[in-house]
Amino acid sequence: MSDTPEIIISVRNLKVGYGENVILQDINFQVECGEVFVILGGSGSGKSTLLKNMIGLYTPLEGEIWIEGTNLVTAEGDERRSLLRKFGVAYQSGALFGSMTVLENVRLPLDELTALPDPLKELTALAKLKLVGLAAAVQKMPAELSGGMQKRAAIARAMALDPRILFLDEPSAGLDPVTSADLDLLITELAHHFGITFVIVTHELASINKIADRVIMLDNRKRTIVAEGRPAQLRDSNDPWVHRFFNREPDAVASGLHL
């Protein structure tokens, strides 16, 4: 690897919110190619809103989001479409299409967006499903899968077109520790073996320590990034909110318990 890592995503002076209601402002950060980048924050800190702006579902109030040299905020038409194909998104609930089998879900982007011959589409989809460990469930309907399996299927679908970036929204929310650890392992392997860049929104401390290369932390009181760095650096942070978060200390004032 060269000394100056390739920057794949660059967010500049971003301000996000809904109409008059500003949720985050002065957001600046860069994601390096091939790293696992984690967006961290408490409940209601705007993590998911930031992610939805980064994947183009919402338009930011101000600022730029550069992905591989194209500004997502201003891109239109073909330019926007080809930019959208550079990343895959796995949503918090999986967002699998309930009327299709798992295999059909993974095949869908291949069917709609490539001209591959049918046997190759099937081979590609099956290989992705085996990669995420869902070989036994290809013919099942999403409703028959457990939470962890649904998330894996969502990752397989997000990977169907070999994107360079994968956005994951709360991948380990609601999973047991073993399933969650399995998912962490899958993420690290995909990042290391295939050079996929991950942008993950989460608040699971255990998985951040295991998978994250770099972390930014959002705070809903200051409405901006309050800390940035490697997980170990953040753990030793002097900022009281970051310190409390990483050491799981309660916020007595906010919780309303004055014992």
Partner 1 sequence: MTAAAQNELNSDLQFGPAGFARVVLRGRLNARTATACWNDLEQRLRGVKLQKLEVDADGLEFCDGGGLALLRYLSMGLMTPEATVSVHGLSTGLEQLFHGFTLDDYKALRPSSEVKCHPLPEEVGSGVRQAASDLREQVEFLGNVTRSILPTVMDRKRMRWTEVRRVFETAGANAVPIVSLVSILVGLIIAFESTQTLAKFGAQIYVVNMIGIIMVRELGPLLAAVLLAGRSGSAFAAEIGTMKVNEELDALQTLGLDPIRFLVVQRMMAAVLLTPLLAIYATFLGVTGGVLVAFSLGFKWSLIFHQLTVSLKVSDIIFGLSKGVAFGVIVSAVGCLRGLQTQEGPSAVGVSTTRAVVTSIVLIVMADAVFSVLFFVLKL
In the complex with partner 1, the residue whose CB is nearer, 125 or 242, is 125
In the complex with partner 1, the residue whose CB is nearer, 2 or 99, is 99
Q: How far is CA 57 from CA 17, 41, 84, 120, 230, in A?
A: 12, 20, 11, 31, 28
In the complex with partner 1, the residue whose CB is nearer, 114 or 188, is 114
- Rounded CA-CA distance 226/235 in Å is 13
Tally of CB atoms within 10 A around 111:
13
112 contacts partner 1 (rule: CB under 8 A) = no
| 70-71 sheet: strands from edge to edge | 21-32, 7-18, 62-67, 70-71
One of 49, 53, 105, 124 touching partner 1 (CB under 8 A): 124
- Please list every residue from 80 through 109 that binds partner 1, using CB under 8 A: 98-99, 101, 103
Cβ of residue 186: shortest distance to partner 1, in angstroms? 13
Stretch of residues binding partner 1 (CB under 8 A), selected from 61-69, 120-128, 226-234, 246-254: 120-128
Look at residues 155, 230, 240, 243 and name the one whose alpha carbon lies nearest to residue 196: 155
143 contacts partner 1 (rule: CB under 8 A) = yes
For residue 38, give both structure tokens: 């984690």
- Please list every residue from 160 through 219 that binds partner 1, using CB under 8 A: 160-162, 193-194
In the complex with partner 1, the residue whose CB is nearer, 111 or 251, is 111
Residues in contact with partner 1, counted by CB under 8 A, come to a total of: 32
Return the residue matching tokens 């050079």: 195
150 contacts partner 1 (rule: CB under 8 A) = no
Q: Alpha carbon 224 to chain centroid distance?
A: 19
- Rounded CA-CA distance 164/88 in Å is 8
Stretch of residues binding partner 1 (CB under 8 A), selected from 43-51, 112-120, 210-218, 236-244: 112-120
Residues pairing with 37 in the sheet:
199, 214
User: What does the binding site for partner 1 look like in residue numbers (CB under 8 A)?
Assistant: 98-99, 101, 103, 110, 114-117, 119-124, 126-131, 135, 138-139, 142-143, 159-162, 193-194
